[in-house]
Amino acid sequence: MSRVIRRWWLPGVVLVGAVVLLLTVPRSVVSFVVAVIMLGYAWVFSPAFFPRGADLQVALRRAAEGRAPLVLWKPGCRHCIWLRARLGLAGRRMSWIDSSVDEEARAVVRSATGGDHTTPTVIFRNETRTNPDAAWVRSLLS
């Protein structure tokens, strides 16, 4: 299965389900609310919820210099989604790398976590944290 399909299959299925619900079920407040919830779920679990990734080497250099934290994440990771949601617009000022499609990024995560592919992993200056508190990450941006 291609990487694009792997990253988008679940949000795609939920999106199609929401459209089918809206087109086939008689219009009611309940069906509309359920469809909106499904659309929100599809968006949050899609790679589009996260900012576009930078080049890993550039992002590592920027993190080491203290210019922008690097977040290594993977689609479907509830902790990654929670961190992204808690950061809000401030999260756009960070470098986000999808470690599920970048072998080098996956190696960085595994070296930082003792061999596991645990995300989110945040790197800034000489510090690396796995599944960090959003307040700590936000403090790096000030």
Beta pairing partners, 97: 72
Segment 26-46, tens digit of pLDDT: 888 988 899 998 998 888 777
- Give the 3-state secondary structure of residue 122: strand
CA distance 7 to 11: 8
Q: Which helix (H) or strand (E) holds 93?
A: none
- Which CATH superfamily, name and number, covers 50-140? Glutaredoxin (3.40.30.10)
Most confident of 1-10, 16-25, 37-46, 59-68: 59-68
Segment 114-136, tens digit of pLDDT: 899 999 999 999 899 999 999 99
Computed over every residue of the chain, the mean pLDDT equals 88
